[in-house]
Structure 1
């Protein structure tokens, strides 16, 4: 139980979806490092390095090297989003629509490449499919924002709502599915019962726990911003050009 609460040192596997939270917590702690690196490298190079590192981590069964670089892809997209946005907006008109359709089809096939390649590559499938699927997922993220048809589909109320509760659903669904599976005689009945119950519990979990946690984090952030502004107004925090001017003052005054 303690391991599942702390998460940093792994999880007990009692609730298997928690395994990914270990890497999410570590990423949150390392986020400043990610940002510093991202500001010094071109977006494409960051993505290439992240995918290569993740593949090497998989090959040598190094969890940190396999999973932590995946977060670097998101950081790269975030830090370089203005350039990506400018480039993506050039795809307009009929040819733009055709280009986005091709991107979506290719990216989707790349994302499910493991199952497509499995009959051909056998034991080497994962090593080939991991970098391929990461490229596909990255392409789909960009397309979800800029491809008009895909953006319209993903912006429907139902899908927006499902996206909103998706993390809560990810956390709660497994115990429900396992419990129902042990109580009913047929697998098909498990699916019929588990799907609506999991959704209902996920909605409750979101409104009772996840959303209040988000709001608490936002309040803490706003309070920290207010404190920083207050310190700055009182001359307790000096940054940017003012800090450089004060640092240079003794040198200018020196004979």
Structure 2
């Protein structure tokens, strides 16, 4: 991964460059799905533009989430905010896809039984080998795994070992790839068990009683699912390694950790698919995979290098609506193609015009869903979590039975320095999208 200038950025600049990176990542994923349908001649094969965008997102999440954990907020506040941040749009998109299934059928990878409900309820889709109603939802599985892991680590005081954790997951990615041909825990029960554990565990985490125990159980559950029931286990471990590498970069930037674990993790992730039993896709060929990793790392490094400068407003805005972009673009493209017909063999000028029209529609709908679904529900979540936090303060921050008050904090929002309604997307530490 390219070297990153060692300096302490100002808070506002740091937020802008993170938004810009999200905007780049979101549009890269949009391009990955748009080009094969609209402009197949322009699709690059020397790197995977979709995986590139996803890796940028994972680095951003790893960079900001655990360090926010250590600065502000509490566990209850974080999870209430997360629920209101993630689920409203997520459920809206699912409802839309199901409502229009008479026109564009739900893809075959989604089971037609209770496992689909259980897996979608937790967002742990890919780690229990269940297809999402919307294709891009698979990455949310790894964001959720990461949230559960860092929650448990923080509550037991293990959150400062991000460098070691990134290397550990990198080693796991290589080892699993060498010996595991696919998910070892198969069938419907992983989805049902993880759903039950998730729901009960979240009750205790938010309620406060036995919080540390519940968080540790959830973290262990996430780890077992990641390693043994993921659709591609080595890839799941590699993804989490990348996220902890993002945390290690932040610690190095702050002078609280070395940078060499990031280099070691990069090397491990780079070689993980080369000898993996479960492999063979074009995007994990050495030349393609390595180029994709280098470009993602270079983009992240470039964002850090420019964090003290004024960035293009369009990139910041794209980052602000990136969760909407990520979730709505793929179903919208499917609906667009149903109307326009197959464009792959059309004249290039016509393809360009239709692609521009599709992108405009995606941006318009994503803006609307951000303004009228995401942002209002974020406000509701902040109000509820704010009342919860005031309730705790009213009790003198005494904590709940069975918990240590000094551990009652996670994933706070260093973004609160920015006015409401302007930076809501960054405010929550954000997920892929």
Task: Confirm or deny a common fold (TM above 0.5).
Answer: yes
TM-score, normalised via structure 1 length: 0.62
Q: 1:123 to 1:219 in 2, by over 3 A?
A: closer
Q: 1:217 to 1:58 in 2, by over 3 A?
A: farther
Q: Which piece of structure 1 moves more, 74-83 or 190-199?
A: 74-83
Which of these residues, 203, 226, 233, is aligned with residue 390 of structure 2?
A: 226
Which of these residues, 144, 147, 165, is aligned with residue 25 of structure 1?
A: 144
What is the CA–CA distance in structure 2 between the aligned matches of 1:44 and 1:220, rounded to whole Å? 35
Q: Partner residue of 1:99?
A: none
What is the CA–CA distance in structure 1 between the aligned matches of 2:285 and 2:159, rounded to whole Å? 26
SS in 1 for 2:143: helix
Tell me whether 1:216 sits opposite 2:380 in the alignment: yes
Aligned residues: 204
Q: Partner residue of 1:162?
A: 318
Unpaired runs of at least 5, structure 2: 1-115, 181-231, 260-266, 271-279, 345-350, 407-433
Q: 1:130 to 1:227 in 2, by over 3 A?
A: farther
More helix by share: 1
Q: CA deviation at 1:70?
A: 2.9
Tell me whether 1:174 sits opposite 2:338 in the alignment: no
What is the CA–CA distance in structure 1 between the aligned matches of 2:281 and 2:141, rounded to whole Å? 28
Q: Partner residue of 2:96?
A: none
Q: CA deviation at 1:65?
A: 2.2
What is the CA–CA distance in structure 1 between the aligned matches of 2:324 and 2:372, rounded to whole Å? 10
TM-score, normalised via structure 2 length: 0.39
Q: 1:9 to 1:47 in 2, by over 3 A?
A: closer
What is the CA–CA distance in structure 2 between the aligned matches of 1:124 and 1:12, rounded to whole Å? 21
What is the CA–CA distance in structure 1 between the aligned matches of 2:289 and 2:338, rounded to whole Å? 33
Q: Partner residue of 1:205?
A: 369
Q: 1:134 to 1:50 in 2, by over 3 A?
A: farther
Q: 1:71 to 1:212 in 2, by over 3 A?
A: farther
Q: 1:180 to 1:236 in 2, by over 3 A?
A: closer
Residues 168, 205 of structure 1: 8 Å contact kept: yes
User: Deviation string for 1:167-195 (max 9, x for gaps)?
Assistant: 21110001111111122143415413211
SS in 2 for 1:38: coil
Tell me whether 1:152 sits opposite 2:152 in the alignment: no
Q: Partner residue of 1:67?
A: 239
What is the CA–CA distance in structure 1 between the aligned matches of 2:249 and 2:149, rounded to whole Å? 17
SS in 1 for 2:319: helix
Q: Partner residue of 1:4?
A: 120
Q: 1:57 to 1:157 in 2, by over 3 A?
A: farther
Bigger Rg, which one: 1
Residues 168, 203 of structure 1: 8 Å contact kept: yes
SS in 1 for 2:254: helix
